[in-house]
A and B are shown apart, each in its own frame.
Chain A
Amino acid sequence: EAGVAQSPRYKIIEKRQSVAFWCNPISGHATLYWYQQILGQGPKLLIQFQNNGVVDDSQLPKDRFSAERLKGVDSTLKIQPAKLEDSAVYLCASSFGGPGTGELFFGEGSRLTVL
């Protein structure tokens, strides 16, 4: 079974530039999550999708971050314009979702460095 795919693995940009990350979840997983993991900290939920609808985006900095999940499959997370404090690993995860008891399956992450 293919795992959660993310790209790019690494990205270096200057502040005020834009960047986009892509995620393809495990086939059949209805719920998709984007987490931000700053060095030395635990993953922080940015946005949670159930199929192609947003369930929770309360911690997404909406003035600069946006995310979409077209057709309820793959997803894109965009940052525009980037700030120095956005340097982090962006983790995508998926699960069967809903009231199920399943664990999250994570991708390898996309490491962003903002100079």
Chain B
Amino acid sequence: AQSVAQPEDQVNVAEGNPLTVKCTYSVSGNPYLFWYVQYPNRGLQFLLKYITGDNLVKGSYGFEAEFNKSQTSFHLKKPSALVSDSALYFCAVRAASGTYKYIFGTGTRLKVLA
């Protein structure tokens, strides 16, 4: 069965510092991995995805994520956090075959402090 774990409910970081939001996954076969961001009273917005190829993927708003197959992780990173990055972040996984079901983690609230 597919699953996603986001071990931190909240991450606090000072503006200008690097940030990391953690995600680990479990899926049969090759994974497709995604990060989404959610602002208050809004739907989820796509940030980036890993399908195949380079383990470091770059996405919107300066975010990037590193795929690590041996650790089954897909951590979200940004070199320099902005106050406007404060939001709820969700990791999602989809199996490369089967029903193409997307499973989401429980979310991590990122708070960037000025």
CB closest chain-A residue, reference B52: A101
Minimal beta-carbon separation of B8 from chain A (angstroms): 13
Besides A45-B103, A104-B44, 6 more A-B contacts (Cβ < 8 Å) are A42-B6, A44-B104, A97-B100, A103-B49, A104-B36, A109-B42
Total interface residues on A, CB under 8 Å, equals 27
Alpha-carbon gap, A112 to B100, bound state (A): 27
Minimal beta-carbon separation of B102 from chain A (angstroms): 6
Q: Are B97 and A99 in contact (CB under 8 A)?
A: yes
Total interface residues on B, CB under 8 Å, equals 25
The answer to the question of A25 belonging to the interface, with a C-beta cut-off of 8 Å to chain B, is no
Q: Are B100 and A104 in contact (CB under 8 A)?
A: no
Minimal beta-carbon separation of A70 from chain B (angstroms): 22
Q: Are A43 and B104 in contact (CB under 8 A)?
A: yes
Minimal beta-carbon separation of A71 from chain B (angstroms): 21
CB closest chain-A residue, reference B103: A45
